[in-house]
Amino acid sequence: MEKTRKLVLFSCLLLVSFLASSSAQTCLNHSFSNRQYANCSDLPALNCFLHWTYDEAAGTVEVAFRHTGTTSSRWSAWGINPSGPSMLNTQALVAYVNSSGIPHAFTTSIDSMSPSMQQSALSFQVPSLSAEFENNEMRIFAVMRISESLLATNQVWQEGPVSNDQLMIHPTSGDNMQSTASVNFLTGQSGGTSSGSSRTRRRNVHGVLNTVSWGILMPLGAITARYMKVFKSADPAWFYLHVVCQTSAYAVGVAGWATGIRLGSDSAGVTHNPHRNIGITLFCLGTLQVFALLLRPNKDHKYRLYWNIYHHSVGYAVIILSIINIFDGFDILKPDDHWERIYIGILIFLGVVATLLEGFTWYIVLRRKNRGSDTDKRSHSINGANGVNGFGARGQDV
């Protein structure tokens, strides 16, 4: 029992470590109240972040630029520059809080090294532009209609002081001189700490974690418990292998479940109710199974039979629901067909192995039963013979 507790504790520590590491990427952890973006990047200077979604059919890029740790007395700007990673020729989106306390956003083309920072048209259309300032964070939201030649380009961002609604020159040292990077709106790559196609990647991570844990490790752990314990020499090794397999599956599965919850909270208006409900049910049942290990009665305990019925019933229910939900996840993610075929192949392999082991197990059990029956018959015959001979001898003695 003590070893079991240690195994469960170790799995929980692995889960905590995973969740802690996954929370390190700032742009991935940010969610907007009424918007969602396919990609994001942690820009390497000035505490800034870029979120965007490219709509190939419309030829537009919807962007959200975030400048954190700023104040209402400073302006923020972000733009793209096909000429190079520099301020000159940057097509910029600028925002500041005006004297009325209202965030104001406008476009400006940086055409000199001493720009006026006055509103002007850009080399491409910007059908939508707005700004928000809250909790010392400036956000600029825009829709840009750009040509294919601007999909892979340079990005430049900057900040500086505001005085009486006039945008003053930005500092010319430190991070203010390091605020350039590349960006590819099509592939999702950025010169900053890019998330790639962040939402897509998180969806894929969610799918992989849950497929490996609930869909592979859980059935494998069940196979280990059902068929290894038939061999007396494998006791109690089979039990510890079962515990390691199932608790590892639970730890990885909870990480996948938490990723799914996060995806749901970041995707307002996008719901997959059956998938979500089965996932929550699996989390609850899996948690019960882990705690059941800690409450496992001894083999000779009067409640052991009821515990076994509960443990087996919940375990098989988890496996069945897991497989159903994984295939539902394939329908949602729509990955390349070969990934679903690979998982089907794994299930077929596990099914064939389980079938062969089931037959072999019954062979072992029936063989032992027959041996036991033969032994009882021989013992009965010997006892019977001894009884007759003994009675006859005593009778003769008499």
Q: Residue 113 pairs with which residues in a beta bridge? A: none
Q: Are residues 343 and 211 in the same domain?
A: yes
Q: Are residues 175 and 283 in the same domain?
A: no
Count of alpha carbons within 13 angstroms of residue 298, beta-carbon side: 2
Q: Are residues 55 and 91 in the same domain?
A: yes
Q: What is the pLDDT of residue 372?
A: 65
Name residues whose C-beta falls within 8 Å of residue 142's C-beta, 6 or more positions apart in sequence: 62, 63, 65, 93, 105, 126, 128, 129, 130
Q: Are residues 250 and 170 in the same domain?
A: no
**Annotated binding site: which residue ranges?**
206, 242, 275, 311
**Annotated binding site for heme b: which residue ranges?**
206, 242, 275, 311
Count of alpha carbons within 13 angstroms of residue 221, beta-carbon side: 27
Domain of 268 in residue numbering reads as: 197-372
Q: Are residues 360 and 212 in the same domain?
A: yes
Residue 389, in any domain of the structure: no
Q: Using alpha carbons, select from 273, 227, 223 the residue that is nearest to residue 249.
A: 223
Name residues whose C-beta falls within 8 Å of residue 103's C-beta, 6 or more positions apart in sequence: 95, 96, 97, 131, 132, 133, 138
Task: Please list the rounded mean pLDDT of every run of 10 residues in the chain (398 residues).
Answer: 51 49 60 85 91 91 95 96 89 95 95 88 94 95 93 93 93 87 83 53 86 92 85 81 89 90 66 87 90 82 88 92 93 83 94 90 82 61 50 39
Domain CATH number, residue 120: 2.60.40
**Domains held by the chain: number:** 2
Question: Domain end: 192, 214, 233, which one?
Answer: 192
Q: Are residues 77 and 117 in the same domain?
A: yes
Question: Domain end: 137, 160, 192, which one?
Answer: 192
5 class by beta-carbon count within 10 Å (0-12 exposed, 13-18 middle, 19+ buried): exposed
Residue 6, in any domain of the structure: no
With contact defined as beta carbons under 8 Å apart, do 52 and 37 qualify? yes
Q: Are residues 220 and 323 in the same domain?
A: yes
CA of 32: how far to CAs of 101, 193, 275, 276, in Å?
22, 20, 23, 21
Question: Domain end: 160, 175, 192, which one?
Answer: 192
Residue 57, in any domain of the structure: yes
With contact defined as beta carbons under 8 Å apart, do 107 and 121 qualify? yes
Residue 379, in any domain of the structure: no
Q: What is the pLDDT of residue 198?
A: 56
With contact defined as beta carbons under 8 Å apart, do 159 and 75 qualify? yes
Joined tokens for residue 64: 């959200």
Domain CATH number, residue 240: 1.20.120.1770
Q: Are residues 67 and 119 in the same domain?
A: yes
Residue 387, in any domain of the structure: no
Residue 147, in any domain of the structure: yes
Q: Are residues 204 and 183 in the same domain?
A: no
Q: Are residues 157 and 50 in the same domain?
A: yes
Radius of gyration of the chain from its Cα atoms, rounded to whole angstroms: 33
Residue 381, in any domain of the structure: no
Q: Are residues 105 and 152 in the same domain?
A: yes
Residue 220, in any domain of the structure: yes
Count of alpha carbons within 13 angstroms of residue 313, beta-carbon side: 6
- In three-state form (DSSP H/G/I as H, E/B as E, the rest C), the secondary structure along the chain is CHHHHHHHHHHHHHHHHHHHHHCCCHHHHCCCCCCCCCEEEECCCCCEEEEEEEECCCCEEEEEEEEECCCCCEEEEEEEECCCCCCCCCEEEEEEECCCCCEEEEEEECCCCCCCCCCCCCCCEEEEEEEEEECCEEEEEEEEECCHHHCEEEEEEEEEEEECCEECCCCCCHHHHCCEEEEECCCCEECCEECCCHHHHHHHHHHHHHHHHHHHHHHHHHHHHHHHCCCHHHCCHHHHHHHHHHHHHHHHHHHHHHHHHHHHHHCCCCCCHHHHHHHHHHHHHHHHHHHHHHCCCCCCCCCHHHHHHHHHHHHHHHHHHHHHHHHHHHHHHCCCHHHHHHHHHHHHHHHHHHHHHHHHHHHHHHHHHHHHHHHHHHHHHHHHHHHHHHHHHHHHHC
Count of alpha carbons within 13 angstroms of residue 262, beta-carbon side: 21
Q: Are residues 312 and 277 in the same domain?
A: yes
Measured distance CA(167)–CA(162) in Å, rounded:
5
Q: Annotate 73-105 with b (16+ C-beta within 10 A) or e (fewer).
A: ebbbbbbbbeeeeebebbbbbbbbbeeeeebbb
With contact defined as beta carbons under 8 Å apart, do 163 and 149 qualify? no
